[in-house]
Amino acid sequence: MNKRNDVGDLDIKHIDPTLYNGDLAPLKPQDRNWGAFEIFNVWSNDIQSLFGYTLAASLFLTYGLNGWAVMAAIILAGVIVMFLVNLTGKPSVKYGIPFPVMVRASMGIRGANLPAMLRAIVGIFWYGVQTYFASTAMTLLLAALFGGGDGATFLGLSGIAWVSFVIVWLFQIMIFWAGIERIKYFLNWAGPLVYLVMIALMIIVWVKAGSELLPAIDTIFSGGEADTTTHPVSAFMAIVGTMVAYFAAVVINFGDFTRFVKTERQMKLGNLLGLPLNVAFFSFIALIITAGTLVLFGDALTNPSDIVERVDTLALTIVAALTFFAATVGINLVANFIPPAYDLANLFPSKVSFKMGGLITAIIAFFVGVLWVSVISQIGVPGFVNAVGAIVAPFYGIIVVDYYLIKRQHLNMQELFSSAPGGAYYYTNGWNTRALIAFGVAALFSISTVLVPALASLNGYGWLMGAGLGGLFYYGLMRQFKVAPTLAGPKAG
């Protein structure tokens, strides 16, 4: 009898150590303890950042669209993202594997490193940026308690800002170094806690605004505040595209989270609660608070920091700072830490674990964060990273088409960790050249929506269109060369 490892599925004798470690191995069903609540909190933490709040509030003001239409567009975007992540999450629920392992089936055992590393670049960059923004909440707190210092700066950061950045950076390392369970606990606490504070703030604003609140809401809902000539249908679709693009970073690698979920039903329930319903509720809270600021301050404030600054009370500053801190760390762990940690582990599995991948992510991100104010934000690097994010879009279509239409929802776990020539996912020296062609052609379009001014109007939908084209080209190439489901190997389990 062949010796089996601790996952109970893989034959150790035929595992390539350059493709395998314990963090990448299929997770047994009995070792999974995530349910609908955990998935709900993945999405809660994804939207409850400073940027997420500002985005949700500004959508009611920017497009000159009736408020009910804005809310409908936001809910539709939530439904679309829910549909997309149900597709990418299902394989990892079934097999217990993270994104960089799952993508080996379509890109090849070596080719999988291409989408994994592109996704890692995006994640590491924004991990550093979000760490900086989380540190601004800590700076707000420390300045309120101890004063702002003498005003001297280094690399654009004051002394108290440097202390705050290091505190946040170390705090995040402490969480992820304790493992995925500690991350889960933080997300499970941060999501509901931020909601409680936001609901309390909404109630306070509502009480202070009194009878003037509803007319202010009506003003915002009428769309009268915005000066725009955009056609209502175009405005509606722009809002949908903007919201879908906001969640795109998590869509492609959603399997990194669903591998811990017990059943597909719990995943879908968590996605239902966490996406259309959660996004609608969050946007409603943002609307009420924004309308309240219109009454109380004469301006519709969409930045929470501006609201706190106008109120200028120590108690609110402390509560708000802690809330902003928890919310921003939450999205950082979900969208920008876990993905590159797995992606780096996939690059050198025998040398880099999930924890080591996370540490590498944190170290590189440290320099991104501290250089954000003085250098990076000034030289157009965010545009480059957004372009890389657009390039990643076709991989979504390739992954989904490969799993559902080519492999017919069956993967061979043993072959995903084998580099034997002629293996199911070996293709050509470990690379699926047809997938590379499909990716390259589709990526030209998706990146054009970011870089070509004439296509700027498609920027909001560029991710969706790039994903669709990637899947379409991939399917055509695989069918043309008669690469049928036989590539999937025997059914797992």
pLDDT tens for 202-253 read 888 888 888 888 888 877 776 544 545 567 788 888 888 888 888 888 899 9
Distance from chain centroid for Cα 168: 20
Predicted pLDDT of residue 5: 40
* CB neighbour burial string for 210-228, b if at least 16 within 10 angstroms, e if fewer: eeebeebbebbbebeeeee
Quickly state the pLDDT bin for 4 (edges 50, 70, 90). Answer: very low
User: What pLDDT sits at residue 206?
Assistant: 86
Q: Is the pLDDT of residue 8 over 60?
A: no
The answer to whether 395 and 401 are in contact (CB under 8 A) is: no
Tokens (6 digits) for 24: 């990448």
Helix (H, G, I), strand (E, B) or coil at 34: strand
In this model, does residue 49 exceed pLDDT 80? Answer: no
DSSP-derived secondary structure for 188-249: HHHHHHHHHHHHHHHHHHHHHHGGGHHHHHHHHHHTTT------HHHHHHHHHHHHHHHHHH
Asked if pLDDT for residue 254 goes beyond 70, the answer is: yes
pTM: 0.87
Tell me the pLDDT of the chain averaged across its residues: 85
pLDDT in tens, 268-324: 999 999 999 999 999 888 888 888 888 888 877 777 777 777 776 777 778 878 888
* Domain layout of the chain by residue ranges: 12-488
CATH code reported for the domain at 12-488: 1.10.4160.10
Residues of the chain above pLDDT 70, percent: 89
Return the ∠ at Cα 439 (arms to 438 and 443), rounded to 5°.
120
DSSP string, 302-365: --HHHHHHHH--HHHHHHHHHHHHHHHHHHIIIIIIHHHHHHHHHHSTTT--HHHHHHHHHHHH
Please say if the pLDDT value at position 106 is more than 60.
yes
- Give the residue from 308, 368, 390 showing the smallest Cα distance to 139: 308
Q: Mind listing the pLDDT tens digit for each residue in 163-216?
A: 999 999 999 999 888 888 888 999 999 888 888 888 888 888 888 888 888 888
Q: What is the pLDDT of residue 223?
A: 56
Residue 454 has pLDDT above 60, yes or no: yes
| Stretch 345-373: mean pLDDT | 91
Which of the four pLDDT bands, split at 50, 70 and 90, describes residue 490?
Answer: very low
pLDDT at 6 over 60: no
Structure tokens at 386: 């957004």
